[in-house]
Copies of this chain bind each other. A is one copy, B any other.
Amino acid sequence: MRYSELKMKENFLLNNRITLITSLFVILMSSISAQVVNKEDSITIRSLYDAALLNGKSYDWLDHLSNEIGGRLSGSIEAEKAIRYTESELKKLGLDKVWLQPVMVPKWTRGVKEYAYIETAPGITSTTNICALGGSVATPSGGLKAYVVEVQSFEELEKLGRSAIEGKIVFYNRPMQANLIRTFEAYGGCVNQRYAGAMEAAKYGAVGVLVRSMNLRKDDYPHTGAMTYGDTPPDQRIPAAAISTNGADYLSSALKLKSDLKFYFKQSCRTYPDVQSYNVIGEITGSTYPDRYMVVGGHLDSWDLGDGSHDDGAGCVQSMEVLRLFREIGYKPKHSIRVVLFMNEENGLRGGRKYAEEARLRNEKHVFALESDAGGFTPRGFSFDTDEKNFAQIESWKSLFEPYLIHSFVKGGSGADIGPLKDGSIVLSGLRPDSQRYFDHHHSAVDTFDAVNKRELELGGATMASLVYLMDKYGTKSEFGVIKD
């Protein structure tokens, strides 16, 4: 970009007045384009974005979570530190209440770094990067070496049958589809290999499982993630690891040249009894409807390979920021607004289940919940799990978001942690950031703080705050249909 002389003359005039002009323009445009939307909303939303971009705290919080604490696997010391840190930071915001909600969580540890190689002939080996999948059992202490059978799907596994699989390592190598625009769809099309691959392969007598990393990029980082053994008896559970995309391509090529090569891997991961942990909750009590709740949240736990900045440190600090922004601009919500930092989304969803269970026990009426758990990238919009009536109201707010380049309001899923709150009337929503880079980092050693851009993170928080503000001010359609005022 070059700066032309012509444009420069304009800038002499504009200089420091751009914000004011932009604000006025935003207000004007909004009032023209949607009758339902009023000036006050435009002004409030502008002030939320200004506060986030000029005086945001989310980036500093994330810096601490990522660089001072690090990866926060459920039941780890880091998860515990993150609970204490975020509780303490929420207390500084002057909220009406801040507390910890006890929840028992699984504890799985990776143990010493995994090791793997491809053996094309006795003594001819090349090492490759793997990591144990979350929840996997260990290999025997001396490791595991076996022939490899490469498949693309469970259907292929079934066709091959026990004779082709027994005693071998099953290598699931179906890649994410690069031509899908939303990368989460590509993830959805592959992740059964990771989640159920070991369980399925064990049925045919496989001794181990290797899964191509859920990553659209070709690189050397293996990506972990949750897996299940389902009803497989403990003595029939086989170890499962992810292999990097480069490693998977290499192994696949090598198998084409020499189908009887062997693969060796060693991992010492282990599952312990459940341990005590907590959801971290902060609340601004509503001025008009103190007993109706709106939740904004992310999950505080993460995988252990990186520092969990995108997944989901970003969602936590953005959610904290929503309440801080309300305090900063002096907005007093009508409903009780809670930030909930859920524990154990990654390998159990215990925090999300616990929160919903307690809400039901206490008869707390939840009318809206918003989760950020798709990375701290530039926000593009929201998805909503709700009915037409509520969705129509939300769509009437679209023009308020346009000045901030938030365009996408679609029906769809929301977030794993808030899912258990679903009751037929609550409006559930998920922030949708740009998804192109997400799976480069997701569940890997490169989900780190340097991959998060301060502005993108802050725009996400402001966008969430703007939606919560509108939801709070106007209420949900279900709320006023269901609850008598």
A397 to chain B, nearest CB (A): 16
> Among residues 346 to 403 in chain A, which have CB atoms less than 8 Å away from a CB atom of chain B?
346-347, 349, 373-374, 378, 380, 403
Contacting pair B456 A437 (CB below 8 A): yes
Contacting pair B189 A378 (CB below 8 A): no
Question: Which residues from B are CB-within-8-Å of A155?
Answer: 15
Contacting pair A180 B19 (CB below 8 A): yes
Contacting pair B180 A18 (CB below 8 A): yes
**Within the oligomer, what is the number of copies of this chain?**
2
Question: Which residues from B are CB-within-8-Å of A8?
Answer: 191-192, 195-196
Contacting pair B191 A11 (CB below 8 A): yes
Interface string of A179-190 (1 = CB under 8 A from B): 111111111110
Q: From known contacts A1-B311, A416-B1, A416-B4, infer whether A54 and B179 are also in contact, taking CB-CB under 8 Å.
A: yes
Residue A49 at the chain B interface, CB threshold 8 Å: yes
Q: Pick the contact of A180 from B22, B183, B226, B442 — CB < 8 Å?
A: B22
Contacting pair A18 B434 (CB below 8 A): no
Residue A455 at the chain B interface, CB threshold 8 Å: yes
Contacting pair A178 B440 (CB below 8 A): no
Interface size bracket, A side: 35 or more
Contacting pair A195 B374 (CB below 8 A): no
Residue A92 at the chain B interface, CB threshold 8 Å: no
Question: Which residues from B are CB-within-8-Å of A188?
Answer: 3, 7, 10-11, 14, 18
Q: From known contacts A185-B22, A191-B8, A456-B437, infer whether A226 and B2 are also in contact, taking CB-CB under 8 Å.
A: yes
Residue A50 at the chain B interface, CB threshold 8 Å: yes
Residue A216 at the chain B interface, CB threshold 8 Å: yes
> Among residues 162 to 191 in chain A, which have CB atoms less than 8 Å away from a CB atom of chain B?
174, 177-189, 191
Within the assembled complex, what's the spacing in Å between the Cα atoms of A195 and B3? 8
Question: Which residues from B are CB-within-8-Å of A416?
Answer: 1-2, 4
Contacting pair A153 B456 (CB below 8 A): no
Contacting pair B437 A19 (CB below 8 A): no
Stretch from A120-128, A256-264, A404-412 forming part of the interface with B: A404-412
A10, A189, A347 — most chain B CB neighbours (10 Å): A189
Within the assembled complex, what's the spacing in Å between the Cα atoms of A336 and B179? 28
Residue A16 at the chain B interface, CB threshold 8 Å: yes
A180 to chain B, nearest CB (A): 6
Contacting pair A1 B442 (CB below 8 A): yes
Contacting pair B225 A181 (CB below 8 A): no
Within the assembled complex, what's the spacing in Å between the Cα atoms of A374 and B1? 7
A167 to chain B, nearest CB (A): 26
Question: Which residues from B are CB-within-8-Å of A272?
Answer: none
Q: Pick the contact of A455 from B50, B312, B436 — CB < 8 Å?
A: B436
Q: From known contacts A154-B12, A436-B378, A456-B436, infer whether A179 and B2 are also in contact, taking CB-CB under 8 Å.
A: no
Question: Which residues from B are CB-within-8-Å of A3?
Answer: 187-188, 191, 194-195, 225-226
Residue A150 at the chain B interface, CB threshold 8 Å: no
Question: Which residues from B are CB-within-8-Å of A10?
Answer: 188
Within the assembled complex, what's the spacing in Å between the Cα atoms of A7 and B54? 40
Contacting pair B405 A181 (CB below 8 A): yes
Residue A475 at the chain B interface, CB threshold 8 Å: no
A285 to chain B, nearest CB (A): 30
Within the assembled complex, what's the spacing in Å between the Cα atoms of A194 and B16? 16
Within the assembled complex, what's the spacing in Å between the Cα atoms of A81 and B329? 55
- Minimal Cβ-Cβ distance residue in B for A404: B181
Binding site for B on A (CB under 8 A): 1-5, 7-8, 10-12, 14-16, 18-19, 22, 49-50, 53-54, 153-155, 174, 177-189, 191-192, 194-196, 216-217, 225-226, 228, 311-312, 345-347, 349, 373-374, 378, 380, 403-405, 407-408, 416, 419, 434, 436-437, 440, 442, 453-456, 459
13 contacts between A and B (CB under 8 A): A3-B188, A3-B225, A12-B192, A18-B180, A18-B189, A178-B455, A181-B405, A182-B405, A378-B434, A380-B405, A407-B408, A436-B455, A437-B455
The 8 A-B pairs at the shortest CB distance, nearest first, are namely A407-B407, A53-B179, A50-B179, A3-B191, A436-B455, A53-B178, A11-B192, A18-B189
